[in-house]
């Protein structure tokens, strides 16, 4: 089984190399790493591969999948949880299995969301720069005590629940909105409808997937329902937030601060070094001029433990596919596919 591995970074090669070498019995998979992303422009380079491994900003549109099928690819291994960038219906039509890594470390992402809340609230990002310049003044760094504040979580699946647990530990009141309530959350807080959550929360953190009905769930109308001075955190998917609406609300000071680990047009920028170039994304550049905005490059998942589990689980998925023709984490087997495809998810 030959696996073509796209968007390969040095840390991917290291974690997959270690996991591959440690397989017992030895893995029947041969991995070829490519630094380039997988998309409409690069898919024609896929030769002699039985499977491809892709990450969050690779594009797996119907056209890419059709080309992969023509080249004899039988499985797509996502080394991530989100699958909004994959046309699952097209994969099913072409008999290609798509599998993801559904849960590698929800705590890693939750801890990063909390780190963003803490940084934004206490202005640690500004303090760090100031002190390096010999400026020890506190003016402009005033924060708020989190204890007793209300935190609203949009989506309390694995990551939202881990975030709820931490924020409850801080002494916050935790609210959640989720169309599929679960008793697991009730230990930490209360479910509310989205409008109530937005109107009562001092901090709103997004943890729901990107789908047609969640695209721009944070927009001009929903921002208007938020408390003045609210902090908005997004570690889920960029497409959940209408960035232009956020910029307007930052200018009027309706939003008190924004921390984004994901951005709706991140595909052409994130995961690469553009420091010597002119960046043409004026929306992102404007956003980054605000002192109360933090942008990070989709790194909430990035811990040693998460990388190790991603590599192990991806190889397990492929080895199971070789033996069984499918795997436990397949997104294209019935009936899971039926429940995922009617509400088609689109590319970020
Ligand atoms: P999950 O599937 O366990 O939880 C998602 C929750 O969102 C579910 O409870 C679901 O019912 C809920 N939901 C669906 N539609 C909703 C809506 N309209 N409003 C409110 N809630 C809604 O997923 P998990 O593992 O917690 O991941 C959440 C998201 O985090 C993923 O979709 C992925 O996009 C993102 N993620 C980001 C990472 C990063 O490095 N920044 C790393 C891993 C995941």
Nearest to 281 by CA among 308, 319, 243, 251: 243
8 and 147 both lie in a single domain: no
User: Which residue's CA is the nearest one to ligand 1's atom 14?
Assistant: 208
Q: Which domain holds residue 150?
A: 106-295
pLDDT of 337 higher than 80: no
Give residue 344's pLDDT band: very low, low, confident or very high (50, 70, 90): very low
Q: Domain check: are 232 and 84 in the same one?
A: no
Tokens representing 345 are: 């998810």
Place of tokens 């889920």: 236
The pLDDT value given to residue 269: 96
Q: CA-CA distance, 217 to 194, in Å (whole number)?
A: 10
| CA separation for the pair 90, 64 (Å, rounded) | 10
| Reported pTM | 0.94
Catalytic residue positions, numbered:
237, 266
Measuring from each residue's beta carbon to the nearest atom of ligand 1, which residues come in under 6 Å? 81-82, 103, 106, 109, 154-160, 177-180, 207-209, 213-214, 235-237, 261-262, 298, 300-301
Is there a single domain that holds both residue 267 and residue 283? yes
Residue nearest to atom 37 of ligand 1 (CA): 236
> What pLDDT shows up at residue 73?
98
Pick from 155, 194, 216, 336 the residue to mutate for probing ligand 1's pocket: most ligand atoms within 8 Å of its CB: 155
User: What percent helix, strand, coil does the chain show, rounded to 5?
Assistant: 40, 15, 45
Pair (212, 314) in one structural domain: no
Between helices 304-324 and 10-21, what is the axis angle to 10°? 60
Bond from prior residue into 120 cis (ω within 30 degrees of 0): no
Rounded CA gap, 33 and 17, in Å? 10
200 & 312 share domain: no
């Amino acid at each position: 089984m030959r696996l073509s591995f796209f968007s390969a970074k040095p840390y991917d090669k290291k974690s997959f190399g270690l996991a591959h070498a440690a397989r017992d019995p030895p893995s029947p998979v041969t991995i070829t790493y490519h630094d380039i992303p997988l998309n409409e422009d690069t898919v024609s380079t896929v030769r002699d591969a039985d499977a491809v491994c892709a990450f969050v900003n690779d594009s797996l549109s119907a056209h890419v999948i059709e080309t992969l099928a023509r080249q004899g690819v039988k499985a797509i291994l996502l080394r991530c949880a989100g699958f909004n960038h994959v046309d699952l219906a097209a994969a099913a039509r072409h008999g290609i299995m798509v599998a993801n890594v559904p849960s590698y470390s929800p705590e890693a992402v939750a801890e990063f969301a909390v780190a963003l809340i803490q940084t934004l609230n206490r202005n640690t990002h500004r303090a760090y720069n100031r002190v390096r310049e010999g400026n020890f003044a506190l003016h402009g760094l005033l924060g708020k005590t989190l204890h007793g504040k209300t935190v609203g979580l949009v989506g309390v699946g694995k990551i939202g629940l881990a975030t709820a647990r931490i924020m409850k530990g801080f002494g916050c009141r935790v609210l959640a909105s989720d169309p599929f309530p679960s008793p697991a959350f009730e230990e930490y807080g209360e479910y509310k409808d989205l409008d109530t959550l937005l109107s009562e929360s001092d901090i709103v953190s997004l943890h729901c997937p990107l789908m047609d009905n969640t695209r721009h769930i944070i927009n001009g109308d929903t921002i208007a329902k938020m408390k003045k001075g609210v902090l908005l955190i997004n570690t889920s998917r960029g497409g959940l937030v209408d960035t232009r609406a956020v910029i307007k609300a930052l200018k009027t000071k309706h939003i008190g601060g924004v921390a984004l680990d994901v951005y709706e047009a991140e595909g052409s920028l994130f995961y690469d070094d553009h420091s010597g170039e002119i960046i043409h994304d004026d929306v992102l550049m404007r956003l980054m001029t605000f002192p109360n905005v933090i942008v990070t490059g989709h790194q909430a998942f990035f811990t040693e433990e998460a990388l190790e589990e991603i590599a192990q689980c991806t190889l397990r998925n492929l080895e199971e596919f070789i033996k069984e023709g499918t795997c436990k984490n397949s997104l294209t087997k019935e009936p899971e596919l039926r429940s995922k495809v009617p509400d088609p998810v689109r590319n970020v």
